[in-house]
Amino acid sequence: MDWKSRSQGYRGTAKEGFTIRKISAPSAVDLTLEDFWSSAGTNRATILDSLYGSQQGWNNGTDYQFLLDFKPGEFSVTVSQGNTELWNTTVADGSYRYGQYGFYNFSQKNVTYSGFTQTGGQVVNNIPEPVPMLLVGLGLLNCLLFRRRKSQ
C-alpha cells in the first residue's frame, strides 16, 4: 500500500491518495523505482485498488489508524483519522496465501509506527524460503537505489 500526501512526478507520476499494488518479478534486481512509485502501474506492478483525488493525501503531524485484516485469498485495509474513515477496501487476490506486511517510507523521515496488535487467526510459520529472501532483497535494492540517488 502506498499513500501519497500529494501528487508527485519523479519516476512516473504518483497521484495523491492511496494505491495497493501487487509486485511480481523474477527477482529483486528486476524491480525499478517505477514499480513502487507510478500510479499507472508497470509490467511488474499491478494496481489492485486505489483512491486518488484532492484531499486524499496524508497530512504532516497527524495521527492515523491502519487496520489490516488478512485472510488467505483476500485482505482488507481501513485507514482512519479518529472516528473518520478515510478509506476502506477489500482486495481479493488468490496469490496472497501468507500474511506478511511491511512498512516502507521513502520521504517521511519523522514517521512513527506504534500500537501493533495481532488478533485471531493462526500464526503461519511455514512461509516458503524464497519469500523472506525476496523481502530482504527488496530492502537491499531500495538501500542501494536510495544511496545512488543521494550521491548524484
Domain boundaries, the chain: 2-151
pLDDT digits (tens, 9 = 90+) for 107-150: 667 777 777 777 765 554 444 444 444 555 555 555 555 444 44
> What mean pLDDT is predicted for residues 34-42?
86
> What mean pLDDT is predicted for residues 77-85?
94
The whole-angstrom separation of Cα 129 and Cα 69 is: 24
Residue 14 β-bridge partners: 8
Name the more confident of 100 and 112: 112
**Would you state the pLDDT for residue 72?**
80
CA–CA distances in Å: residue 39 to residues 4, 7, 17, 50, 123: 10, 10, 10, 9, 32
Q: Taking the alpha carbons of 59, 61, 67, 68 in that order, is the dihedral positive or negative?
A: positive
**Would you state the pLDDT for residue 138?**
56
Q: Is the pTM of this model over 0.85?
A: no
**Would you state the pLDDT for residue 129?**
46
pLDDT grade, residue 80 (50/70/90)?
very high
pLDDT grade, residue 151 (50/70/90)?
very low
pLDDT grade, residue 4 (50/70/90)?
confident
Using only C-alpha atoms, what is the Rg of the chain?
16
**Would you state the pLDDT for residue 149?**
46
pLDDT grade, residue 98 (50/70/90)?
low
Count of H-run helices and E-run strands, the chain: 2, 8
